Amino acid sequence: MAIKKHEDIRLNVKPLFLTLYHEYVFEGPCRFGEGMQLEKEFDLHMAAEKFKGWYAQLQAAMPADVVNLLEPVKVERDEQFLTKDEMIEKLAEGSEEVDLYYIGYASRPYDLALEFAMRVGKPCAITQACCASAITSAEFLSRGLEFYPFEDWADATEYMTVLRARKVLRDSKILAATRMTSSVSVSAPDSIIDPEKITAKFGTRLRFVSAHELLDQISYDDPMSNHCTPGRAGLNLTAEDEKGIDQLTDEIIDGAEECQMTREMVKKSVEAYWGINKFLDYFECNCFTCPCPDLCATRRLNEKQFTMCLSHSLNNEQGIPSACEYDLGALVSKLMLQAIGRRPSYMGNCFTSPIRNGVRAPLPKALFFTPEHVDAKTEELGDAENVVLTFHSVPNRRWESFDEVYRPYAVREFARSGFGATFRYEFEADKGQVITMCRIDPTCEKLFVAKGTILTSMGYGETNCSMGVFFQVKNSKDFFKKQAAVGNHMPLIYGDFEEQIIELGELLGLEIVNA
Partner 1 sequence: MTTKMTLKERLDLAALDADAALKQLLEGDLDRNGFRREVRAFTLAKFFLTEEECAQAGTDELLELANVSVEKMLRNADKSVKLAEGSTTCTNQSSTDIKKVLLSLTLQRSLGVKFTPEYSANLETITQLADALFDARGKAEFAR
| Contacts to partner 1 by CB under 8 A | 20, 22, 29-34, 36-38, 41-53, 105-108, 129-132
Specify the residue, 21 or 479, whose C-beta has the smaller distance to partner 1: 21
As measured in angstroms, the least distance from the Cβ of 68 to partner 1 is 23
As measured in angstroms, the least distance from the Cβ of 54 to partner 1 is 11
Specify the residue, 44 or 355, whose C-beta has the smaller distance to partner 1: 44
Specify the residue, 108 or 482, whose C-beta has the smaller distance to partner 1: 108
As measured in angstroms, the least distance from the Cβ of 20 to partner 1 is 7
Q: How far apart are CA 18 and CA 10, in angstroms?
A: 25
CB-based contacts of 149: which residues, under 8 Å, 6+ apart? 125, 126, 127, 128, 133, 134, 136, 137
Specify the residue, 29 or 432, whose C-beta has the smaller distance to partner 1: 29
CA 424 to chain centre: 23
- Cα–Cα distances in Å, from 286 out to 156, 174, 281, 339? 28, 6, 8, 12
Nearest CA to 438 out of 446, 429, 428 is that of 446
As measured in angstroms, the least distance from the Cβ of 21 to partner 1 is 10
One DSSP character per residue, 415-461 reads STTS-SEEEE--GGGGTT-EEEEEEE-TTSSEEEEEEEEEEEEE-TT
Contact between 274 and 244 under an 8 Å Cβ cutoff? The reply is yes
Specify the residue, 41 or 85, whose C-beta has the smaller distance to partner 1: 41
What backbone torsions phi and psi does residue 235 show, to the nearest 5 degrees? -100, 35
Nearest CA to 447 out of 207, 202, 208, 205 is that of 202
Specify the residue, 73 or 276, whose C-beta has the smaller distance to partner 1: 73
As measured in angstroms, the least distance from the Cβ of 87 to partner 1 is 18
Cβ neighbourhood burial of 151 (10 Å; 0-12, 13-18, 19+) = exposed
> Would you say the C-alpha torsion 457, 336, 327, 178 has a positive or negative sign?
negative
> Would you say the C-alpha torsion 493, 495, 497, 498 has a positive or negative sign?
positive
As measured in angstroms, the least distance from the Cβ of 41 to partner 1 is 7
As measured in angstroms, the least distance from the Cβ of 28 to partner 1 is 10
Specify the residue, 30 or 376, whose C-beta has the smaller distance to partner 1: 30
Q: How far apart are CA 323 and CA 192, in angstroms?
A: 13
Burial 306-323 (b: 16+ CB within 10 A, else e): bbbbbbbbbbbbbbbbbb
As measured in angstroms, the least distance from the Cβ of 107 to partner 1 is 4
- Cα–Cα distances in Å, from 82 out to 48, 75, 79, 482? 21, 12, 8, 55
As measured in angstroms, the least distance from the Cβ of 154 to partner 1 is 20
Q: How far apart are CA 404 and CA 402, in angstroms?
A: 6
Specify the residue, 28 or 144, whose C-beta has the smaller distance to partner 1: 28
Residue 101, classed as helix, strand or coil, is strand
Specify the residue, 78 or 241, whose C-beta has the smaller distance to partner 1: 78
Categorise residue 299: left if φ over 0, alpha if ψ from -120 to 50, beta otherwise.
left
Specify the residue, 106 or 198, whose C-beta has the smaller distance to partner 1: 106
As measured in angstroms, the least distance from the Cβ of 15 to partner 1 is 14
